[in-house]
Structure 1
Amino acid sequence: MTDWADAISRMVDAQREVREIDREHLWCHGQPAPPASRERIGLVQARRGVVLDSQYAEFLVHADGWPAFMQDVDLFGTSDLLGAPFDEAARLLSTLEPDVVDAGALDVAALIPVGASRTGIDLFVMPQAGGSTPNPVIWLAGLEVERYVSFEEFFPAMIEENLGEAADLREGQRESDG
């Protein structure tokens, strides 16, 4: 089981590293939202007619979403799940090419958008929960970019993505300063 306070702290540190090195302001930089109540999560599930993955729901109890979680991709909180960001992500999800759907064995109707780019086509989606087994997080950007076994695997991978972005920015600045 993930220690969400520690994981969130590590992500804050990784994003701070990106923000400090991002002199050209290439990316948005956000902070985690205050925790959601379990009642609010229940409201999302009732209004959307979905069952959220238990690991993702547990994350929401610690941080109710995260704007600019990675570059310009927002990790949805309950307000996003109830509003336009979810609707826009669902519309984008419905435009996936049939060969992408077939290759990933995706049941688009059962996928729940849990994150989306503000300016691009990146989506994070999860199948609707259906038991005690964790559901994968699938990163889509016109095609399947990556599939993580669970939300608890996805989150540290995104910490590493942010640290990698900081390293890339640092290297680029060394080359331009060089």
Structure 2
Amino acid sequence: MKHEESDRLKGWKDKIAVMFLVQEEIQRLDKIGLWQYYYPELAATEEQLTVVEAQLGHSIDKGYRDFLMCANGWKCFSQTVNLFGTGDLMGSSLMDYALEMLCILDDENVIASSGFTKAELLPIAATFEDRDLHVMTRPTSNEPGIVIWFSGQEIERYLSFEEYFLTMTDYNRLEIDRLKKDS
């Protein structure tokens, strides 16, 4: 069991390293300072994860949990969108904002049109800059572990946290191509 966990975490460390290298290239090409760039946070501890799960009242999705065990969040993970760590999951000004956006989406029936209820969704990434909100379906949902990107409406849906992370990495790669064309 420990060997399997070690392999999973090594896989996440590799994915994080790739995303970091992609962002490093974007920063090199970003001559006008479009965005800010940050390292991923240091790994969450088992104690931090246990406290968050107790506060949430359910376990954290395995893929997301494994990510947090390698990087406890990532500021400006994708342009201005911050990927939440345990501190945000416990409560932060950005989480408060994300929950407000979730209420607005609920009032506008955007969540219902996506086939879920507000109670089934956990914000995992957001930005103060616009309406981008990334949520994960909770384990109590009929379809646990799905990640949905909202920006006033559903933009995209991912079957797992890993698929979400890899897609965001690919979107960052597209930004490299755009910046190369603009230079």
TM over 0.5: yes
**Aligned twin of 1:87:** 96
Question: Any runs of at least 4 consecutive aligned residues in structure 1 with deviations exceeding 4 A, and if so which?
Answer: none
SS at match of 1:139: strand
Change (3 A) 1:35 1:55: same
> Greater relative contact order (Cα 8 A, min sep 6): structure 1 or 2?
1
Correspondence 1:145 to 2:168: no
Compute the RMSD of aligned alpha carbons.
1.8
Cα displacement (A) at 1:38: 1.6
Unpaired runs of 5+ in structure 1? 174-178
**1:60-96 CA deviation, whole Å, 9 max, x = no partner?**
0000000000000000001111122222211111101
Unpaired runs of 5+ in structure 2? 1-7
Q: Provide the rounded CA distance (Å) in 2 between the counterparts of 1:33 and 1:40.
A: 14
Matches for 1:100-119 after TM superposition, within 5 Å: 100-119=110-129
Amino acid at match of 1:80: D
Q: 1:54 aligns with which of 55, 62, 72?
A: 62
**Aligned twin of 2:77:** 69
Identical residues among aligned pairs (%): 37
Change (3 A) 1:90 1:50: farther
**Aligned twin of 1:22:** 30
Correspondence 1:127 to 2:144: no
Q: 1:156 aligns with which of 160, 166, 171?
A: 166
TM-score of the aligned structures, taking structure 2 as reference length: 0.87
TM-score of the aligned structures, taking structure 1 as reference length: 0.90
Q: Provide the rounded CA distance (Å) in 1 between the counterparts of 2:129 and 2:58.
A: 26
Alignment coverage as a number of residue pairs: 172
Q: Provide the rounded CA distance (Å) in 2 between the counterparts of 1:61 and 1:118.
A: 25
